Chains A and B, each alone.
Chain A
Amino acid sequence: MPVAEKKKLDLNRREMPKQLPEIRRHNFNEVALGYSARAAVEEASRCIQCPKPKCVSNCPVEINIPGFIKAIAENDFARGIKIIKEKNCLPAICGRVCPQEEQCEETCLLQRKGGQIAIGRLERFLADWEAQQGEVELPQMEESSGKKVAVVGGGPAGLTVAGDLIQLGHQVTVFEALHKMGGVLIYGIPEFRLPKAIVSREVNYLKKLGVDIMTDYVVGKTRTVDSLMEEYDAVFVGSGAGLPWFMDIPGENLNGVYSANEYLTRLNLMKGFLFPEYHTPVKTHKRVAVIGGGNVAMDCARSAMRLGAESRIVYRRSRSELPARLEEIENAEEEGVIFEYLTLPLQYIGDENGWVKEMVCQRMQLGDPDASGRRRPVPIEGSETVFPVDAVVCAIGNSPNPLISATTPGLEVGKKGNIVADEETGKTSRERIWAAGDVVTGAATVILAMGAGRKAARSIHEYLTS
């Protein structure tokens, strides 16, 4: 009998199963299906456990990444999730929507040895594993401090601050303007990328920890920040970047031209894709053009495709400048989204009933790099092209919502309408008011908002206990 060879470790990164493109382009179910336990253990076993892991310092919330990966490799999933939760209270969400390729996974030494460790997929695996175990274990809670904190906005920053401060023994109330908690996680990111049941699960976890939640409550309108300060010892503002930009070109107010926020809110928050069981109407269009190249643009284009339209991304630079995550670009390409690169809309033309019917665009070429370091798109004279469209979604960004800054005297506001706050502490120009997330930085990512929220929570705790 031949002697069994020592099993050689397969160094290749484990693929995560996905719905096939030709199937998923017709449904709103989650695209990525997650690792099996076996695949997770195999993937985790690849980790070489660097003594000075760069992945940790590249994580905005500094999760002990080698620690939880080791736990998976040893089949101790309960320990793994505990390690993540020391630093991140929303792992099921971050495992799905964090741009790991520019953070933890970017510096992984295995990049040239079969691919970097799939840290995000492993994080997601642990969070989903925990949810399947039924009752989630509650963390150790500090004794009550008797202090009260108001958190304005139920998005990623607010959820983090609430989760951190309640565990430190403070009483926390979250005020959310919409009828559901989650902010962009609920109204913006589509079901096929982040199932809403996962967001609800995380929100329910906070409720179990004792966080009070007030939905349908617009701070700045229902009650001002100053009025909250009479009742609360500290106020945290995480109201997000919720004011959509338009290009200010002719025809933008025609019927059939949407902001990305409107398009996604109808579908996600209001569940318009289930119309008429859910009552918020969504039009079924034939040819949709989405303007922009970020993750939000990909979300819109892929949603339009799922509603049965021919879906087109219109972007003024080329593929290599797309700000969206590569994974989302590839998903969109596989699903059949058409990419019109180096193309800039000049105006929209309407039919006799005021509905958009055509889009006039100009072709561009790339010139010298601009302030962002990306090559600047330069118009090619005489290159005007007309596309027939019956809907346009403008996904070119958002600025911070002004409701809070406009109603809170003395709160310093930057040029772009952002609340000015210290990067390390989240402290604003007003005593007892902290701010973090998109309302401070302008539109960014979920994990950056959470990282900034964590720092603010730390600073609030210091203030409350000093």
Chain B
Amino acid sequence: MFKVIASRMIVPNVHLLTVEAPEVAREAKPGQFVILRAEEEGERIPLSISDWDREMGTVTTVFLNIGNTTHRLAALEAGQNIPTVVGPLGNATDVEKYGTVLCIGGCYGIGSIFPIARALKEMGNRIITIIEGRSSYLFYWEDRFKAISDKMFHITRDGTKGYRGHVSRLPEIIKDIGEPIDRILINGCTFLLKKGSDASRSLGITTWVSLNPIMIDGTGMCGVCRVSVGGTTRFACVHGPDFDGHEVDWEELLQRRKTYMREEVIPLRTSKCEEHSRKLTG
């Protein structure tokens, strides 16, 4: 069992979960993920590691409350236990001296790209951060990013902060940045990863993305996380999760992610609130 140390909603519908998992914390590196189960009957889902504390032995993830398991994770309180936190899985993001690195995060990816940006900064890179969201009220950890970024930009769908629109405005933003970019890293929803990679393709800047397909075991055993990269089938759990965004077959990935869209909400319908209301109404 793994003890929940902190669980709270940090901006609407985005949750932070810190669990006690000392062995995972000891080995965690930027860009890796954990697999969690919320309950004994629960499914296994992968979540990117957003931070860790080796001394405290804790691991933190940030996630969107969007389906069955994330709903149950979001409902946890400090002091409760969950049955599975296994990791750190996947390969760490390559942290080298590149020069100037543009780190783009959206949604849960704002959290997961933070330790990557921090490590790249410590490595001596110049860090330019872009955080993206539907609206400015969905941004979090801005202070943490400011502390490690040489420049910071925002994109909001509704124009409430920074550029209005989507990451497809990247070529124009890079022009405004006004300095050469050596590498782009993107964390977030598949749509953001795809749009960002599409936008950077014409600029000829190497772009690496952290993929988030469906997984079960996370150790290469089931193969459900397979993605086509440069025409070859790869397993995101053991070969990734980071891949060259210009080589990924995005249509296939988006399609595969939809496999269980319908089933995703069914266990919620039979969840405890219904039982509870039945009890109340006799």
Once the chains bind, are A222 and B24 in contact (CB under 8 Å)?
yes
- List B contacts of A258 (CB < 8 A): 223-224
Contact, CB under 8 Å: A354 / B252? yes
Q: Does A218 lie within 8 Å of B86, measured CB to CB?
A: yes
CB <8 Å contact, B216 and A281: no
Q: Beta-carbon contacts of B26-47 to A below 8 Å, as 1s and 0s?
A: 0100000000010101111000
Across chains A and B, the number of contacting residue pairs, with CB separation under 8 Å, is: 125
Q: Which of A233-261 contact B (CB under 8 A)?
A: 242-244, 246, 248, 252-253, 255-256, 258-259, 261
Q: Which residues of chain B have C-beta atoms less than 8 A from A255's C-beta?
A: 255-256, 258-259
Interface check A128, CB cutoff 8 A: no
Closest CB in chain B relative to A195 CB, distance in Å: 18
Per the 8 Å Cβ criterion, residues 54-97 of B in contact with A are: 68-69, 83-89
Taking the complex as formed, is A178 at the interface, i.e. its CB lies under 8 A from any CB of chain B?
A: yes
Interface-facing stretch out of B151-159, B195-203, B260-268? B260-268
Residues of chain B lying within 8 A (CB to CB) of residue A277 = 41, 270
Cβ contacts under 8 Å, A160 to chain B: none
Query: Chain B's nearest CB lies how many Å from the CB of A101?
Result: 29
- A277 to B223: give the CA distance in the assembly, Å: 24
Q: Which of A5-13, A67-75, A262-270, A323-331 contacts B (4 or more CB under 8 A)?
A: A262-270
**What's the Cα separation between A217 and B35 when bound, in Å?**
11
The answer to whether A221 touches B87, judged by C-beta atoms less than 8 angstroms apart, is yes
181-237 of chain B: CB within 8 A of chain A: 216-224, 226-228, 233
- Please give, as numbers and ranges, the residues of chain A lying within 8 Å of B263 by CB-CB distance: 275-276, 281, 283
Q: Beyond A179-B83, A278-B41, A353-B255, is A262–B216 a contact (Cβ under 8 Å)? A: yes
Chain A nearest CB, measured from B194 CB (Å): 15
Picked from B37, B69, B217, B233, the residue with its CB within 8 Å of the CB of A246 is B233
CB contacts (< 8 Å) of B256 on chain A: these are 253, 255, 354
A362 proximity list for chain B (CB < 8 A) = none
Determine if B238 and A261 form an interchain contact, defined as CB atoms under 8 angstroms apart. Answer: no
Q: Is A216 part of the binding interface, using a Cβ–Cβ cutoff of 8 Å?
A: yes
Min CB gap A239→B, angstroms:
9
Whole-angstrom distance between the Cβ of A32 and the nearest chain B Cβ: 28
CB 8 Å contact bits of B238-257 with A (1 = contact, 0 = none):
10000000000001100110
Q: Please tell me if A279 contacts chain B, counting CB pairs below 8 Å.
A: yes
Majority-rule SS of A interface residues: loop
Q: Are B267 and A275 in contact (CB under 8 A)?
A: yes
Contact between chains at B221 and A265 (CB < 8 Å): yes
Q: How far is the CA of A280 from the CA of B259 in the complex (A)?
A: 12
Q: How large is the interface on B (under 10, 10 to 19, 20 to 34, 35 or more residues)?
A: 35 or more
* Nearest-Cβ distance from residue A110 to partner chain B, whole angstroms: 41
Is there an interface contact between A276 and B270, defined as CB atoms closer than 8 Å? yes
Question: Are A179 and B84 in contact, with the CB atoms below 8 A?
Answer: yes
Q: Decide yes or no whether A439 CB sits under 8 A from chain B.
A: no
The reply to whether B85 and A248 form a contact with Cβ atoms under 8 Å apart is: no
- Interface status of A294 (Cβ within 8 A of chain B): no
CB pair A270 B216 closer than 8 Å: yes
Are B255 and A354 within 8 A (Cβ)? yes
Most buried by B among A218, A283, A403: A218
Contact A275 B266, CB 8 Å, known A403-B220, A403-B238: yes
**Counting chain A CB atoms within 10 Å of each CB, which of B39, B87, B219 scores highest?**
B219
- With a cutoff of 8 Å between Cβ atoms, the chain A residues found around residue B270 in the complex are 276-277
Is B23 close to A, CB under 8 A? yes
In the complex, whether A223 has a CB less than 8 A from a CB of chain B is yes
A177 at the interface (CB under 8 A from B): yes
Residue numbers in A under 8 Å from B42 (CB-CB): 279
Closest chain A residue to B269 by CB distance? A276
Measured between alpha carbons, how far is A136 from B185 in the docked complex, in Å? 57
Q: Is the CB of B223 within 8 A of A244?
A: yes
Least distance between B20 CB and chain A CB atoms (Å): 13
- A253-B267 CB under 8 A given contacts A262-B223, A265-B221: no
Note all chain A residues with C-beta closer than 8 A to B264: 281
The answer to whether A402 has its CB under 8 Å from any CB of chain B is yes
Contact of A279 among B68, B83, B217 (CB under 8 A): B68
Residues on the B chain within 8 Å of A261, using CB:
221-223
Chain A neighbourhood of B259, CB < 8 A: 255-256, 283
Interface of chain A residues 54 through 73 with chain B (CB within 8 A): none
Chain B residue with Cβ nearest A398: B221
Q: Which listed residue (A221, A279, A353, A403) contacts B43, Cβ 8 A? A: A279
Residue of B nearest to A258 (CB): B224
Cα A252 to Cα B41 with chains together (Å): 30
Check if B223 sits within 8 Å of A217, measured CB to CB: no
B258 touches A218 (CB 8 A): no
Cβ B37 vs Cβ A179 within 8 A:
yes
In the complex the two chains form, what is the Cα distance from A218 to B84 in whole Å? 12
Smallest CB gap from B266: residue in A = A276
Q: Are B267 and A276 in contact (CB under 8 A)?
A: yes
A441: B residues at CB distance < 8 A: none
A343 within 8 A of B: no
A295 within 8 A of B: no
Q: Is A401 located at the chain interface by the 8 A CB criterion?
A: yes
A21 to chain B, nearest CB (A): 29
Q: Check A262–B219 contact: CB distance below 8 A.
A: no
**What chain B residues lie within 8 Å of A179 (beta carbons)?**
37, 44, 83-84, 86
**Residue on A nearest B72 in the bound complex, by CB:** A279
What is the minimal beta-carbon distance from A236 to any residue of chain B, in angstroms?
Answer: 18
Interface centre among B89, B222, B228 (most CB of A within 10 A): B222
A302-323: CB near B (< 8 Å → 1, else 0) gives 0000000000000000000000
Known contacts A222-B24, A275-B266, then 5 further A-B pairs from the complex at CB < 8 Å, ordered by chain A residue: A255-B258, A259-B222, A277-B41, A281-B43, A403-B220
Listed in ascending order, the chain A residues whose CB lies under 8 Å from chain B are 177-179, 187, 216-218, 221-223, 242-244, 246, 248, 252-253, 255-256, 258-259, 261-262, 265-266, 270-271, 275-281, 283, 353-354, 401-403
Can you list 28 A-B pairs, Cβ within 8 angstroms, ordered by A? A187-B217, A216-B86, A221-B89, A222-B87, A242-B220, A246-B226, A246-B233, A248-B233, A253-B226, A261-B221, A261-B222, A262-B222, A265-B216, A277-B270, A278-B41, A278-B43, A279-B39, A279-B41, A279-B68, A279-B267, A280-B216, A281-B266, A283-B263, A353-B258, A354-B251, A354-B252, A403-B219, A403-B238
